[in-house]
Structure 1
Amino acid sequence: MKKFISTFIALILCSYSFAGTLFPKHDINDPKLSKNTVMQLCQKSLMYAPRQLEKWCEKAYEMGYWQALEVISLHTNDGSRYITEAQRHAENGDPDGILALAFVYESGRFVTQNLHKSIALYNQYLNENQGIEEEKMRVNRTHEALYLIYTELGDFEKAAEQKRFLDGSNYIESKEAILKKQIQEAGISIDSEQ
């Protein structure tokens, strides 16, 4: 019994100290903290420091990162504030707001799933951002999402239209190139003989 208790205590201490290395200690009131650092701490806190999640995500929200409300919503299981903020941004033509709402309606996260509303939002995004070079990858991802939705709905004609766009844009090759680059940067070796 003593062995079990000591093993249990050691395990708790080790996991607690390990989580501490994955979630660095920062003073939330430090004026030198960048928006990017606060945003990352908000996202990491969901996994590594849930007790600190709300304060870091609220700080990120105050600094202009409205998507922090999604992390809070996942933690509290109440997405009403996130949905309201995404709707406000979408109404102002913000691509992030439009895509956030489209994904929410596609997945049914925080709202009742509505694929037709999701399609309308994805198409709104495409109509407003199709020719913008900085949006090229998100435009392609949007076409991919529409392809999957149309396939799920059994609308194979519209699915084929999305697939033709993806094939013509070299999207799959671009995704593979980005993945290979990320793998190389991470120092992971992939054996092509497997």
Structure 2
Amino acid sequence: MKKLIYTFFVLILCSDSFAGTLFPKHDINDPKLSKNTVILQCQKSLMYAPRQLEKWCEKAYEMGYWQALEVIGLHTSDGSRYISEAQVHAENGDPDGILALAFAYESGRFVTKNLHKSIALYSQYLNENQGIEEEKMRVTRTHEALYLIYTKLGDFENAAKQKCFLDESNYKENKEAILKKQIREAGISIDSEQ
């Protein structure tokens, strides 16, 4: 029991040193900080530096990364700014805004869960982005999301339409291939490929 208590206190006392390697120390006022660095600090702060989260995420928001408001919302349990910003972006046809709202209504994150609003938003996204090559993976993931929603609602006719798209696009195989490539690039050996 003493060993367990000792280990607990060592972890608590050393937590800053562990976080330091995962949350690099940057001067938030450094004018040379890139947008990507600020975004990463915002995202990582939720787990590794919650006391610094609002500063980093507000800076990321000021630099044009409106999705930082989601991280703030998760931290403060108030996602109203994020939802408002996503609505503005969705109204302007921004695919990120449309998908953010669709997911919010699908999951009930920061809004009352409403699968029908989610379906409408996912459908809007598909109507506006179906043939755009850069959106190919997100279009396919949107079909997968719609398939799952329609299945939950018991609307098997529309679920079947989404499933047909997924089958024709070889979505499952493409997803697995991307995952295997990412694992290899990370230097992790896959036993089944030996």
TM-score (norm 2): 0.95
Equivalent residue number for residue 12 of structure 1: 12
SS at 1:192 equivalent: helix
1:20 shift after superposition:
1.3
The answer to whether the aligner puts 1:163 opposite 2:155 as a matched pair is no
- Count the aligned residue pairs: 193
Q: What SS is found at the alignment partner of 2:164?
A: helix
Question: Is residue 36 of structure 2 the alignment partner of residue 21 of structure 1?
Answer: no
Q: TM-score, normalised by structure 1?
A: 0.95
- 1:40-189 paired onto structure 2 within 5 Å: 40-189=40-189
Tell me which amino acid in the other structure corresponds to 1:70: E
Moved over 3 A (4+): 1-9
Aligned equivalents of 1:26 and 1:127: distance in 2?
42
Cα distance in 2 between the residues matched to 1:5 and 1:115:
47
Unaligned 5+ segments in structure 2 are none
* 1:149-179: CA deviation from partner (whole Å, max 9, x where unpaired): 0000000010000000011111111111110
Tell me, in whole angstroms, the C-alpha distance in 2 between the residues paired with 1:34 and 1:190: 35
TM-superposed CA distance for 1:3, in Å, is: 7.7
Given that 2:146 and 2:159 are in contact with CA atoms closer than 8 Å, whether structure 1 keeps it comes out as yes
CA-to-aligned-CA distance 1:35-55 (integer Å, 9 cap, x gap): 111001100000000000000
Matching residue's letter, 1:77:
S
Structure 1 gaps of 5+ residues are none
Alpha-carbon distance between aligned partners in 1 of 2:178 and 2:26, rounded to the nearest angstrom: 32
Partner SS for 2:21: helix
Check the 8 A contact 2:184/2:190 in 1, yes or no: no
Cα offset for 1:9?
4.2
- Matched-pair identity in %: 88
